[in-house]
Chain A
Amino acid sequence: SQKIEQNSEALNIQEGKTATLTCNYTNYSPAYLQWYRQDPGRGPVFLLLIRENEKEKRKERLKVTFDTTLKQSLFHITASQPADSATYLCALRGGATNKLIFGTGTLLAVQP
């Protein structure tokens, strides 16, 4: 069955450092991979989308890479700030479906 794993349930880093979050998947060939941010008790907020034929996408301090050979995406937040502290969700979607399959998320804590 399809499986999505995100690295470590929690990640602690110092303010100003780069946070790197990992999303690995098996038994799936996604056409799109998306990253969302979720704060406690709130809905997921869309951050970035990358297509299967794209290697890298950037938006301000955010960067996402997508390696369909390794079946992995890396999500980077540069110059991290305490306000970046949240759970980050990886979500995959196939080309013939509009169903998103989510990972369990990584809780990022940025220490001042």
Chain B
Amino acid sequence: EPEVTQTPSHQVTQMGQEVILRCVPISNHLYFYWYRQILGQKVEFLVSFYNNEISEKSEIFDDQFSVERPDGSNFTLKIRSTKLEDSAMYFCASSDPSGPAHFGETQYFGPGTRLLVL
């Protein structure tokens, strides 16, 4: 069964450094997402991406964050200058656009990247 993959599984970085988290969505999906989960808290939406542009973003997704689809398979999240509070699990998700109301219905999540900022 196709699945979303993410690399690396763990990333440790120093405050102020840039990190790039990588995702390979399910191959026929066209909507891509990033969510994060701070330890012990709920999963929070960061951004959605469709047709090579951001379709929606949350208040968390400020100028320090950016997303890119550099080729036909990868989807990346870049944090330009990491802060301590960026430490979290970051999940990539994707969905198929063939659902009703134009948006894909079910979002399938990857295993996550655990980011620790020191």
Q: Interface on A for B, CB 8 Å cutoff?
A: 31-32, 34, 36, 41-46, 49, 89, 91, 95-105
Contact = CB atoms under 8 A, between A and B. Distances in A.
A100 B2 CA distance: 21
Contacts of B42: 89, 102-105
Given A43-B91, A49-B105, A89-B43, A98 B114 contact: no
B41 interface: yes
Interface string B58-96: 100000000000000000000000000000010100010
A8 B68 CA distance: 39
Given A43-B112, A46-B108, A99 B58 contact: yes
Q: Nearest 6 CB-CB pairs, A to B?
A: A43-B109, A102-B43, A98-B103, A99-B45, A104-B42, A44-B109
**Chain A contact surface mostly:** loop
B17 interface: no
B33 A98 contact: yes
Contacts of B101: 31, 95-96
Contact of B56 (A34, A46, A99, A102): A99
Given A31-B101, A98-B56, A49 B43 contact: no
A101 B4 CA distance: 20
B14 interface: no
Contact of A101 (B45, B48, B89, B114): B45
10 contacts: A41-B112, A43-B112, A44-B43, A44-B91, A46-B108, A49-B106, A89-B42, A91-B43, A100-B43, A102-B44
